[in-house]
Amino acid sequence: MNEKPVELERTAAAPQTRGGSTDGATTGFVAAVFLGFCAIAFGGSEAATKADGISASEAAKIADGYRRNRGKLLPVALSPGHRRDELMRALHMPKSEAESLIAMVERGERTLGRLTLWDNLDEDGDIASVTAGGFTQSILLTRTPTEILVAYIPGRPVLITGERDGMGGGVTMAVELSTGPVSIPPLAVGQTIALPIQ
């Protein structure tokens, strides 16, 4: 079943660009700076910090949309046009592991796909890891999307684990699949979820 995700999730998951019109993140930032200034100027002992904060109903909508969504990793073809060192740089792992993984792809033991991740709520230092085909990559989640290569075994899961919750509220992120942006339910540190890939 490939139903269209709830519109709220598409908006929440979409990568944010800088410049142009004022978005909610900019408004939120200005408000946070103003409130922090007021807290200090008018007797507050410390500025407020913002953690990922979503209501239970928002979390339920994200989880429901996640369960309904299915997609594929975007394909990456190994061809003479792809330079091996460029591919290895896109793998967030030690060089020896990256070389081993590329060799497995060249032998047909793994399939290479592209995955884009970003923090879709507050950029607060969250870290997630992506595990597939016996290899793990750790990613610092920012509002700017990060593209990684994932060498996976078709039919086996691609796992995402919450590694560090920056300032509370869970490890929050969205990923880009062939069907578009998908919000991942907030993860606790150590919690693992399988990507909804076909």
| Beta strand segments in 98-191, E | 111-118, 127-132, 135-140, 146-152, 159-164, 171-177, 180-187
pLDDT in tens, the chain (198 residues): 443 333 333 334 444 333 333 344 433 333 333 333 333 232 332 222 345 677 888 888 888 888 888 888 888 877 665 677 777 777 888 888 888 888 898 899 999 899 999 999 889 999 999 999 989 999 999 999 999 989 899 889 999 999 999 988 899 999 999 999 999 999 999 999 999 887
DSSP-assigned letter for residue 171: E
Structure confidence at residue 52 (pLDDT): 65
Enumerate the H helices of the chain as residue ranges: 7-13, 24-41, 56-68, 84-89, 95-106
Using CA atoms, how far residue 41 sits from 27, 30, 37, in Å, is 21, 16, 6
Q: Match 């994200």 to its residue by tokens.
A: 62
As a whole number of angstroms, the distance between CA 62 and CA 60 comes to 5
pLDDT at residue 102, rounded to an integer: 85
Residues with Cβ within 8 Å of residue 81, at least 6 apart in sequence: none
pLDDT of residue 42: 28
What 3-state DSSP class applies to 146? strand
Q: What is the pLDDT of residue 89?
A: 77
pTM: 0.68
Q: Strand, coil or helix: what is 120?
A: coil
